[in-house]
């Protein structure tokens, strides 16, 4: 019975420590590949992670900013629908001011709305 308990205990510790070590390595890997931190701040985080182990790792991942989705730039862009609405408003203002004829207004409106 003692050998079964020893085997279970060893398996239990392996099942817990291996994922935790992998998580710790992932934290260092993520820290090394961050472009938004200076070398000094990265060094401070390394010291925190080494000294506080998993508590520091939890704090690091909790305070880390989210990455933008793949394919999205960091610059702010106006969605296509917002541009279309702005152009339609501009066309309506020009038509009301008499700068556009009704036919030109309708033609451009159909173009914008892809009708």
Domain boundaries, the chain: 2-63, 80-113
Q: What is the pLDDT of residue 1?
A: 59
DSSP state of 77: -
pTM, two decimals, is 0.53
Please, what are the averages of pLDDT over each run of 10 residues along the chain (115 residues)? 80 90 93 90 93 90 80 59 84 89 88 78
Are 24 and 55 spatial neighbours (Cβ–Cβ below 8 Å)? no
In terms of Cα–Cα distance, which of 100, 113, 30 is closest to 65?
30
């Amino acid at each position: 019975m003692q050998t079964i308990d020893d085997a279970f205990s060893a398996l239990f510790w392996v099942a817990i420590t291996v994922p935790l070590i992998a998580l710790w390595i992932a934290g260092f890997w993520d820290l090394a590949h961050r472009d938004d931190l200076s070398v000094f701040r990265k060094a401070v985080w390394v010291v925190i992670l080494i000294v506080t182990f998993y508590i520091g790792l939890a704090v690091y991942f909790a305070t880390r900013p989210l990455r933008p989705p793949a394919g999205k730039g960091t610059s702010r862009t106006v969605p296509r629908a917002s541009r279309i609405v702005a152009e339609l408003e501009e066309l309506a203002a020009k038509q009301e001011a008499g700068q556009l004829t009704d036919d030109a207004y309708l033609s451009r409106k159909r173009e914008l709305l892809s009708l």
